[in-house]
Amino acid sequence: MLTLPLELEREFEVEVEKLEEFTRMKYVTSFERNARRESLLEGIEVSLEVKFGSEGLNLLPEISQIYDIERLRAILVRIKTANSLSELRQFYQSTTSE
């Protein structure tokens, strides 16, 4: 990993901000996407364990195959209202097949 000197890093950030303003689109690096995905997976893991106990963790291998950030967010939110693991599985399987 390459670390820019602080002055160059700030200059880079300013240029990215200008570009974002111009295009009205936020640029998200692959590192940021991966970090968001990992954070969501960690949240899902904790939520599954808290709500469904260790049995809930059995869904993690399947859910970990999902790379769409919005779908992972939807799964995390859905855990709150899901009454069973099969209901949750049905939800994320239907959202990944769309």
- Taking only the tens place, the pLDDT of each residue in 27-80 is 678 888 899 999 999 999 999 999 999 999 999 999 999 999 999 999 999 999
CB atoms within 10 A of CB 44: 25
The predicted model scores a pTM of 0.68
CB atoms within 10 A of CB 59: 20
- What number is the average pLDDT over the span 17-31? 74
Q: Residue type at 96?
A: T
Q: What is the pLDDT of residue 2?
A: 72
pLDDT at 1 > cutoff 80: no
- Give 3 or 59, the one with higher predicted confidence: 59
Q: What is the pLDDT of residue 27?
A: 67
- What number is the average pLDDT over the span 17-35? 77
The domain limits of the chain are 29-96
Query: Please, which pLDDT band fits residue 24 given cuts at 50, 70 and 90?
Result: low
Residue corresponding to tokens 């399947």:
62
